[in-house]
Amino acid sequence: MTVILLALAAACCLGTGFVLQQIAAQHAPPQDYLSFRLLLDLVRMPRWVAGIVLMVTGMALGAVALGMGDITLVEPLMATNLLFAMALARWISRQRLGRSGWAGLWLLAGGVTAFIVAGQPHGGRNSEVGQLAQWLIMGGVLSTALLLAAIAKRERVHVSLEAALLGVAAGLLYGLQDALTRISGLRFGAGGWRALLTSWHPYAIVVLGVLALVMVQSAFESAPLRMSLPALTAAQPLAGIACGVGFLGDQLRVTPGALAFQAAGIAAVVAGIVLIGSHPAMPPGAGATDSSRELQPR
């Protein structure tokens, strides 16, 4: 129960922080797109700083949850950050949920519940399960994220496609970051600060965090929140679960019935994310009001 409450608190902080970041990022200069200069411009905006503080708090709570529980349990729960983002966006816009909003809410909540109940995630105490599998999965996730970002950088017309690609790329990096956070927590528990700081994992976490942050803020700057946040929210738990099962030793029930319910749960989560993310209550962002950005050279 403690792990569940920590993961939900992390989701609350993340969802609220994402909305505040997007509202601020839409005012950033277009020429900062996918550039580290974007962070330097955004840090001058109090609302963006507040969003970052909430996001960091959410990540810290998520790290504690990952240290106490399995990544295959924590990741689906943290995907509910979209519910909290929706709640804040609805309060700001005064939009009613309507059928699509309620359907998305129940699909997301029900999908997470179905996956956890059917899969019964457990195990994963050994961070050294299959070193070859670890490098292959990490390399696959990282290369896919960088490829999607490169495609988004070259895309010159469809800002909605750019935002979705960057959302998926950032979500993959955050999922990989969560897996490395789990490993770092295990190393710290086994050998203290010396074991942690002499490994490469905490430094990789920082690099991945900065890269993902640039991608997320560029996506928030370029298009409405509903174009990027659903993609990010869907990609992160999928990457985290792949890492958890692939090389962290996490285990799920593999009976035919359990696998069917897990697949249905994941499908419901993705469908709920799409419905909630496309709700008109989500902040419109620069992409809805400034169509000239689509024609700007990069």
Which residues share a beta bridge with 71? none
> Phi, psi (5° rounding) for residue 126?
-105, 115
The pLDDT-based confidence of 159 (bands split at 50, 70, 90) is: low
Kindly report, residue by residue over 114-125, the tens digit of the pLDDT: 877 787 776 645
Residue-level pLDDT at 290: 43
**Residue 190: HSE in the Cβ half-sphere, 13 Å Cα cutoff:** 14
φ/ψ of residue 122, rounded to 5: -160, 170
Residues in the chain: 298
pLDDT at 26 > cutoff 80: no
CA distance 61 to 13: 9
Q: Which residue would you say has higher pLDDT here, 263 or 142?
A: 142
With DSSP H G I counted as helix, E B as strand and the rest as coil, what are the percentages for the chain, rounded to 5? 80, 0, 20
CA-nearest of 16, 106, 14 to 65 is: 14
- Phi (first) and psi of residue 290, to 5 degrees: -125, 80
Q: pLDDT digit string (tens) for 55-84?
A: 999 989 988 888 887 777 788 788 788 778
292 — pLDDT class (breaks 50, 70, 90): very low
CA pair distance 7, 234, nearest whole angstrom: 16
- Which position has the token pair 């996001």? 55
Q: What percent of the chain has pLDDT over 90?
A: 16
Least trusted range by pLDDT, from 32-41, 153-162, 279-288:
279-288
Contact 243, 71 (CB under 8 A): yes
pLDDT band at 282 (very low <50, low <70, confident <90, very high): low
Which is nearest to 246 in space by CA: 195, 191, 175? 175
What confidence score (pLDDT) does residue 294 get?
A: 43
Summarize pLDDT for 169-225 with one digit per residue, the tens: 999 999 899 889 888 888 888 888 888 888 899 999 999 999 999 898 888 877 777
Q: Binning pLDDT at 50, 70 and 90, where does residue 110 land?
A: confident
With a pLDDT cut of 70, the percent of the chain lying above it is: 86
Distance CA 133, CA 48 (A): 38
* CA 79/CA 289 separation, integer angstroms: 28
